[in-house]
Structure 1
Amino acid sequence: MLVKPMKDELTEIGFVELLTADDVDRAMKDAATGTTLVAINSANSCAAFAARPGAWLALSGDAKRPDRLLTVFDEQDIEATAQMRSYLEDIPPSHPSFVLFKDAELVYFLPRHRIEGVDAQMVASQLEGAFNEYGQ
C-alpha cells in the first residue's frame, strides 16, 4: 500500500505550497483582496490527521470557497512558516491550524486545540462556518 506524503494531501486539493519567506510575502500581497485560507500543516501531531481531511471536506461542501488556498509545512519549511507567523500578530504558534484572511485582515483562526480530539467532519464544520461568514 502506498501512503501519500502529508504535503500532497493539501496540494492535491488546490493549496499552494509556500516554501520560502519570499513565497509567503508574494502570496500575502495577493491576499489584499478576497479571502485566503492558510493551512499550517504538521507532521508531528495526531490533530493533523483530522485537519487535512477536514479541509478537504470543507472545500468540497456547499460552503463559500476561499479565493486562495495556501499552506506552509511546519517542521519542514521553517523559513516560510516563520514568515507566515509574522502575519499572525498576537497568535501563538499552533500546528496544525487554519487561518482565514479577508482583504488581508485576519478574521478567523482555528488552532490545534480546537482540532485535536475531534474528527474531520467537525473540523470541516468549523471551517465551513468561517467560509460562509467571511466569504464573498
Structure 2
Amino acid sequence: MYDERLVAPMRLELTELGVEEMRSAEEVDSKLKDAKGTALVVVNSVCGCAARMARPAVAKALQNSAKPDMATTVFAGQDPEATQRARGYFTGYPPSSPQIGLLKDGKLVFMLERHDIEGRSADEIAGDITSAFDKYCDAPVSA
C-alpha cells in the first residue's frame, strides 16, 4: 500500500467530481448489489495511465448530457476488499487497473481495461465512455 498522503489527491480527482468512493466490500454491496439503473465503476490506480488518461477521461465523460445514475470508484492497491468486491461485478473480465465499467441493473454492459486505456488520449477514452453513456444511460429530461 502507498502512503495515504500520496494517494489522497488521486482519490480527490474523482470524488470532487461527485464520484462516490467505496472503501469497503460492504460499501460496494450497499451501492451496487441491488442497484437499478446505471452505475459507473472506476477502478482507480496510482499508475501513470490512470493519472494521464483514465481519471481525466472520466472527468470529461461526466460532462456528457447522458450520465449514469450513479458514479462510483474503488482504489486498487489501497482498498483491496472493496476493489475485489467491485471487480466481482465485472463478469468475464480479469482484474485490471485502471478499469472502467458500466453496469445497468447490476449487469456489466461496458468495460475498458488497462490495455484499452494505455497509449490512448483522455479524449479518445472519454469518447468511448460517452458512447456507452449515450447507449445505456438516460439523458436528463428538459423542463
**Is TM > 0.5 for Structure 1 vs Structure 2?**
yes
AA of the residue aligned to 1:38: V
CA contact (8 A) 1:46 1:116 kept: no
- Please provide the CA RMSD for this pair: 1.4
Task: Specify the alignment match of 1:36 in structure 2.
Answer: 39
1:119 corresponds, among 118, 121, 124, to 121
AA of the residue aligned to 2:64: G
CA contact (8 A) 2:44 2:97 kept: yes
TM-score computed with the length of structure 2 as normaliser: 0.87
Task: Specify the alignment match of 1:74 in structure 2.
Answer: 76
* Alignment partners' CA distance in 2, 1:60 and 1:84: 24
Q: Give the stretch that moved more between structures: 83-92 or 110-119.
A: 83-92
AA of the residue aligned to 2:78: Q
TM-score computed with the length of structure 1 as normaliser: 0.91
Runs of 4+ in structure 1 off by over 6 angstroms are: none
AA of the residue aligned to 2:87: R
Unaligned runs of 5+ in 2: 1-5, 139-143
- Residue 30 to residue 14, structure 1, CA distance change in 2 (3 Å): farther
Q: What secondary structure, in the 3-state scheme, does the structure 2 residue paired with 1:69 have?
A: strand
CA contact (8 A) 2:44 2:98 kept: yes
CA contact (8 A) 2:100 2:112 kept: yes
Task: Specify the alignment match of 1:22 in structure 2.
Answer: 26
What is the total number of aligned residue pairs between the two structures? Answer: 131
